[in-house]
Amino acid sequence: MDFKIAVLAGDGIGPEISVQGVDVMTAVCEKFNHTVSYKYALCGAHAIDEVGDPFPEDTYRICKEADAVLFSAVGDPKFDNDPTAKVRPEQGLLAMRKKLGLFANIRPVQTFKCLLHKSPLRAELVEGADFLCIRELTGGMYFGEKYQDNDKAYDTNYYTRPEIERILKVGFEYAMKRRKHLTVVDKANVLASSRLWRQIAQEMAPKYPEVTTDYMFVDNAAMRMIQEPTFFDVMVTENTFGDILTDEGSCISGSMGLLPSASTGESTPVFEPIHGSWPQAKGLNIANPLAQILSVAMLFEYFDCKEEGALIRRAVDASLDACVRTPEIQVEGGAKYGTKEVGAWIVDYIKKA
């Protein structure tokens, strides 16, 4: 198979982890006799500094022409600390999702047995947790009408029936492939947009009689994820709720550096770690590359290359079991490994497999 990959490294630790993802992809392609080519493009703060646009038209063209995008992270403190900034790195991420029609964000939340002690939750609560958060990605408050002056501001949480139907369809279909349990998360007791979500979900549920469908207010879902994460199989929700809940879900595994994601929809899919740019760690060779590497596994699996994805997952598991880990998840007294060393170990495992 031929792969044309757009690589958007972005800001902060993005370039460091991006290299590890590309190296793993190259090693797997060599192993399975695939051909792969890469085109690199600007995004985020780096793109603003270079051309004044966080998602330049040239970057959009490169993404549009690719089979998939391997994305890393955007964000920079100089924009975070300036509330008057008109152009922000995160606008590039939103523009990429909107222009490529990436309406479904798939974030798996799982635990690794050797890292249960790293979770802030008790091991008996998180052991066996394995669920998908499916977040609507191109609607809601992030894209609705906005206004701000010195005295008032608003963001419009706007959704249409087609937007809701298509993301719920993704949720039901993933539930059918898993344990046939779908939880629709909303705030239907307060928000009109949520009541439309719940109405449409109730209309669609009879079309999937094998799926047990339940409904949960977002505040209850946030609490249940901490109290009983093994309850969930597939969770589907709107943009803002999904953004918050998926970050909460990352705590279950013990590190945001462990969880990948996929954004899919009408055009080129994007595969990325769920974490941000962590600018404080830039250049220190301490960033965990595993989420980026596992996003490559998701990329292969998206194209039905299951053996390739499985090999990457085995390599990641083997690295964790061998305590080849970056500092935030290393065992006490364990050897010191940086971003580059962890990535190189996994590449070597793949080549020898």
Strand partners, 306: none
Annotated catalytic residue 159: no
| C-alpha span between 169 and 173 (Å, rounded) | 6
Structure tokens of 87?
Answer: 């152009």
Fill in the DSSP letter of residue 233. S
Whether 149 is a known active-site residue: answer: no
For residue 59, the Cα-to-chain-centroid distance in whole angstroms is 20
Q: Read off the amino acid at residue 204.
A: M
**Residue 158 corresponds to which tokens in the numbers above?**
């706007």
| Active-site entry in 67, 130, 155, 243 | 243
Based on the residue annotation, tell me whether 142 is a catalytic residue of this protein: yes
Contact of 315 with 353, CB cutoff 8 Å: yes
- In 58-207 the beta strands, taken as DSSP E runs, fall at 68-73, 104-110, 130-136, 146-148, 153-155, 181-186
Distance CA 38, CA 22 (A): 9
For helices 89-100 and 57-65, the axis angle rounded to 10 degrees is: 40
Residue 247 known to be catalytic: yes
Q: Please tell me the distance from the alpha carbon of residue 100 to that of residue 137, in angstroms, as a whole number.
A: 11
What is residue 204's three-state secondary structure? helix
Identify the active-site residue in 11, 99, 142, 233. 142
Which one of the listed residues 38, 39, 247, 340 is annotated catalytic? 247
Query: How far, in Å, CA of 168 to CA of 204, rounded?
Result: 8
Give the span between the Cα atoms of 91 and 71, in whole angstroms. 15
**Does 80 participate in catalysis according to the annotation?**
no
Catalytic residues, by residue number, are 142, 187, 219, 243, 247
